[in-house]
Structure 1
Amino acid sequence: MCRRAREIIASLEWCRTREDLIDALSVLLLIRDLGPIGRPSISRILGLGDKRTRNILLKLREAGLLGTSRAGAFLSSSANRLLNGIYCSRKGDYTIAGVACNIEDPELVSRNIMVLRDSIVIALSDPGSLEVIGWFNGDELALPRVSEELAKGYQELVKDSVACSNGCLVSLFRTEGICYRCCASLVHAASIL
């Protein structure tokens, strides 16, 4: 159902652990937003060590997802296509993550909300940052186990940040700055749907 998320995870088959996967996807999302960008900036923004960042960039380049220039790393055209439909933005105190999914039955999200939440929390090792997770169809935000009044406030945050005509799995994270690891963890969680 979240074919896009599964394709991204498959393209990162060299990742041996969930942490490797989240870090590599975080690097790709950061480069998409800020690229071309140098390795020291990537390390600083994501909080990764220089050696780890160097190894991730090398693996992504070997996989054909990155190119480099004097200005820094940039996404290849195949990586740009791959990340199409993945949204990661900042609004107010929130990082808003979205993954385009073709889910005909939003009840599936409702039934699996705890599985998705657990996957994200385990990947982030920070249960406090995830506020809500739900389904956005372009007009309406469905948040299982959230009151209608609270859902309206979240909908205002999401509607201008995520552009999904066929629907998106979305999550809101309360963070200091934009959290690329949060967005990457949603993509990872969406791949299990």
Structure 2
Amino acid sequence: MINDIKADAESRMQKSLEALANNFGKIRTGRAHPSILDSVSVNYYGADTPLNQVANVSVLDARTLSVSPWEKPMVPEIEKAIMKSDLGLNPVTTGELIRVPMPPLTEETRKGYIKQARAEAENARISIRNIRRDANADVKDLLKEKEITEDDDRRAQDEIQKITDKFVAEVDKALSVKEADLMEI
């Protein structure tokens, strides 16, 4: 029973870490990366559709993305959707190809992105601590129902704390990597 609780807590903490990595992917660095446009939705025949389902997004060079729509009439719609997104990007259309140059980051925008990255990391830490709280509550319930001893309870809480510390350390490591990436010129 205790092992099930620990395994469940660990898998949920791993999902929090994956969500953090996904959120970090949305924070723009100075380099071009196709995942930057993952949050962009295009009006495709009346339905909001993710950009990667109506066009091919690829990296042209270190500072430029290329978006090639699968249907020619979608070019203006995609261009409009990229401009409307809060990414601060200005697409340039050349025929059927849309080029999206990445503007260089100023010191001020870098600091803003670092602040955003720190907030995302703190949300991940909070999520991990909430999972720890839930797991400890489950262990306490087993103790109340006299299914485990007090020694088992203490040991389980210590092990859950070790798992929590491991995942919080991974969040901190991911944050320091992202900060270094953002401050790189």
Q: TM-score, normalised by structure 1?
A: 0.26
Q: Which has the higher contact order (CA 8 A, sep 6+)?
A: 1
Q: TM-score, normalised by structure 2?
A: 0.27
Structure with more helix by fraction: 2
Point out the structure with max Rg over C-alpha: 2
